[in-house]
Amino acid sequence: MSRLISSVSPHFFTKRSTRMIMLDVIIALLPAAAASAIVFGPRSLLVIGVCAASCIIFEFAFEKLCRRENTIGDLSAIVTGMLLAYNLPVSIPLWQAVFGSLVAIVVVKQLFGGLGQNFANPAITARIVMMVAFSGSMTNWVFPGTSKMPDAVSSATPLSAAAKGTVSMMPSYMDLFLGKHAGCIGETCALALLIGGIYLIIRRVISWHTPLVFMATVALMSFFCGKDPLYQVLSGGLLLGAIFMATDYSTTPHTKWGKVIFGVGCGLITILIRFWGNLPEGVSFSILIMNIFTPYIDKLTRVKPLAGGAEQ
């Protein structure tokens, strides 16, 4: 008779795994990919593919080099790649996209210990590095429908139009909602992002707290600053950031109140940059700055263990 397994309880485990969670995020990102192909043409899919593939290759290569366990099977590199691509203009030169993936995977993720150990969101940090390094191509916005040659027609994003006060270039609510305006690959179509967000909430991958509070803060502050709240919520990278990046597990707070504070903080910083900063958009910076505060927010909002009577 063969030996019986001896182990400590429990002997049952959930079927949910890291890989399944990442797969859910990828599924939630797909509507936005489809929307980008319609809005910007097939090159958007090329950029997404290049980013995802290079992220996988960098993760594999780095882990090989460091003799760490190969983790590309958990699909987290694909999520990072897709999110990075969603934050780039469709006209981005592919080598720059590959460079961004290198920053995201190697510098921000692996050098800090890999999945779950990084304190900053890889896609957002890579995007900010690229904005500094390639400021020209990172702001080369293409207006939908003119995607023949990327740098032929430059256009204003809804936010830069609003910042400059060029009302004629400001798209309608409907165009904002459906994504028919200039911007990054994955951020324009609010409808697709909301579908993805609702899917993630239903699948309990994320909670509603951060996205809702983030958006509500931006809307409320816009209202008090005399701007159009709906326009502010629907434009720029707010929905993409609030739903997919401000809910990243390892770089955002875990407690309910922590998530609320994180959302408020992101919203306030976004508004500060949008209305008073030099840049037209501030979602990426707001999330990165709040990433740094995450450990403190977690500490501040730590849940008290449930026990009655006098605590020792």
Residues forming the site for another protein (CB under 8 A): 1-2, 4-14, 16-18, 20-21, 71, 74, 76, 114-117, 249-250, 254-255, 302-312
Cβ density class 53-65: b for 16+ within 10 Å, e for less: ebbbbbbeebbee
Q: Closest by alpha carbon to 51, among 152, 192, 195, 185? A: 185
Closer residue to another protein in complex, CB, 20/131: 20
Smaller CB separation from another protein, 3 or 148 = 3
Instruction: Return the number of the residue (174 or 306) whose C-beta is nearest another protein.
Output: 306
Please state, as a whole number, how many other Cβ atoms lie within 10 Å of the Cβ of residue 73.
12
In whole angstroms, how close is the CB of 247 to another protein at the nearest point? 11
CB nearer to another protein: give 11 or 148: 11
Q: How far is the CB of 249 from another protein (least distance, A)?
A: 5
**In terms of Cα–Cα distance, which of 5, 35, 7 is closest to 187?**
35
Least Cβ distance, residue 1 to another protein (angstroms): 7
Q: Choose between 74 and 187: whose C-beta lies nearer to another protein.
A: 74
What's the closest the beta carbon of residue 212 comes to another protein, in angstroms?
Answer: 18
Q: Name the helix (H) or strand (E) containing 126.
A: helix 122-133
User: Taking the complex as a whole, how short is the minimal distance between the CB of residue 257 and another protein, in angstroms?
Assistant: 13
Q: Which of 206, 217, 225, 210 is nearest to 270 (CA)?
A: 217
- In angstroms, the CA 190 to CA 177 distance is 5
Burial class (CB in 10 A: 0-12, 13-18, 19+), 13: exposed
Q: Is 81 exposed, middle or buried (0-12, 13-18, 19+ CB in 10 A)?
A: buried
Residue number with CB closer to another protein (222 or 247): 247
Name the minimum Å distance from CB 205 to another protein.
Answer: 9
- Residue 155 Cβ vs another protein, minimum distance, rounded to whole Å: 38
Shorter beta-carbon distance to another protein: residue 38 or 201: 201
Please confirm whether the linkage preceding 122 is cis (ω < 30° from 0): no
